[in-house]
């Protein structure tokens, strides 16, 4: 049985210009998530979180490496069916555009009608309207139905950390293009770059 998600030696490099090959940003990731799970993702703005999500859904092409969703290389799946394997929920998530050099008829079908991997990119959490509760229940339901959920939060309020602690079973931390995997909330807090990043919020709790 294949893992839910395998990110193998994935590299994405952005260059200064088409002819000036000076790298301006580099992202590297290599991790495996075997089973359905709710994975928290944190990291400063501009560290590469959204780029990683785009690489996992196949809307962005890697410079090297591959992404396997339940054994299927997402970049070899028909562009019009990639959202049946992985969905990236961002601000304008409803628009799905994929670019590919190869025509769809030469690529593989998704073999699924409902996405296996759900990537939530900084969903709007508002403590006043009660929707947080429904969203968290939805993440739990997806997981119980055998899906893999990523929840990317840029914590700037205490309750953001409460949400992550309540619902996420493991974590991915991204900083300056470096992706690290952590087995629990405590684990990620023991990781120095994550502690520095959360700094103020963690001391708020102590206070």
Partner 1 sequence: MALFEAHSIHKRFGSRVVLEDISLSFEEGQVSGIMGPNGAGKTTCFHCLTGHHKPTRGRILFDGQDITGKAPQRIARMGVSRSFQLMNLFDDSSVIENIILALPDFRRRFAQATRSVFDDRDLLEQALEVLDQVGLLGQEWAPSQSLSYGNRRALEIGVALAAKPRIVFLDEPTSGLGAEATRQLAALINTLRSKYTIVMIEHDMRFLFELADKISVIHWGQVIAEGTPGELQSNKWVQRSALGEVA
Closest to 90 measured CA to CA, from 118, 110, 126, 113: 118
State the minimum distance, in angstroms, from the CB of residue 140 to partner 1: 10
> Is 127 near partner 1 (CB under 8 A)?
yes
Cross-strand bridge partners of residue 163: none
Q: At what angle do helices 158-167 and 131-144 cross, to 10 degrees?
A: 20
- Least Cβ distance, residue 132 to partner 1 (angstroms): 4
How are beta strands 72-73 and 64-69 bridged, if at all? antiparallel
- Is the Cβ–Cβ distance between 41 and 172 less than 8 Å? yes
- Please tell me whether residue 117 binds partner 1 under the rule CB under 8 A: no
Q: CB of 60: closest distance to partner 1 in angstroms? A: 16
Q: Give 41 or 194: the residue with its C-beta nearer to partner 1.
A: 41
176 torsion bin: left (phi>0), alpha (psi -120 to 50), beta (else): left
Question: Measured between alpha carbons, how far is 155 from 188 in angstroms, rounded to an integer?
Answer: 14
Q: Which stretch binds partner 1 (CB under 8 A): 1-9, 26-34, 85-93, 192-200?
A: 85-93
12 or 90: CB nearest partner 1: 90
Among 97, 156, 200, 203, binds partner 1 (CB under 8 A): 97
- Strand 23-33 and strand 64-69: the pairing is unpaired
| 21 within 8 A of 15, measured Cβ to Cβ | yes
- CA 156 and chain centroid, separation: 19
CB under 8 A: which stretch of 40-48, 67-75, 125-133, 145-153 binds partner 1?
125-133
Using CB under 8 A as the binding rule, whether residue 87 contacts partner 1 is answered as: yes
Per-residue CA distances from 141 to 89, 124, 136, 162, 175 (Å): 17, 19, 9, 19, 30
Binders of partner 1 among residues 7 to 26 (CB under 8 A) are none
Tell which one of 13, 26, 70, 131 touches partner 1 (CB under 8 A): 131
The minimum distance between CB 9 and partner 1, in angstroms, equals 31
Instruction: Closer to partner 1 by CB, 12 or 147: give it.
Output: 147
Least distance CB 158 / partner 1 (angstroms): 12
Binding site for partner 1 (CB under 8 A): 83, 87, 89, 93-97, 113-114, 124, 127-138, 141
């Amino acid at each position: 049985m294949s893992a839910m998600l395998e990110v193998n030696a994935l590299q994405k490099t952005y260059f200064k210009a088409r002819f000036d090959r000076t790298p301006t940003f580099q992202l590297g990731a290599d991790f495996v998530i075997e089973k359905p799970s709710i994975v928290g993702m944190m990291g400063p703005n501009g560290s590469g979180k959204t780029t990683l999500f785009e690489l996992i859904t196949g809307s962005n092409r890697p410079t090297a490496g591959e992404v396997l969703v339940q054994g299927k290389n997402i970049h070899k799946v028909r562009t019009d069916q990639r959202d049946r394997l992985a969905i990236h929920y961002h601000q304008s998530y409803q628009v799905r555009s994929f670019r590919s050099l190869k025509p769809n008829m030469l690529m593989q079908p998704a073999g699924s009608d409902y996405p296996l991997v759900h990537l939530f990119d900084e969903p709007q959490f508002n403590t006043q309207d009660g929707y947080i509760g429904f969203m968290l229940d939805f993440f739990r339901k997806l997981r119980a139905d055998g899906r893999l959920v990523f929840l990317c939060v840029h914590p700037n309020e205490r309750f953001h950390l409460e949400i992550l602690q309540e619902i996420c079973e493991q974590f991915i931390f991204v900083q300056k293009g470096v992706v690290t995997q952590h087995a629990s909330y405590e684990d990620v807090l023991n990781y120095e770059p994550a502690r520095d990043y959360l700094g103020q919020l963690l001391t708020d709790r102590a206070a």
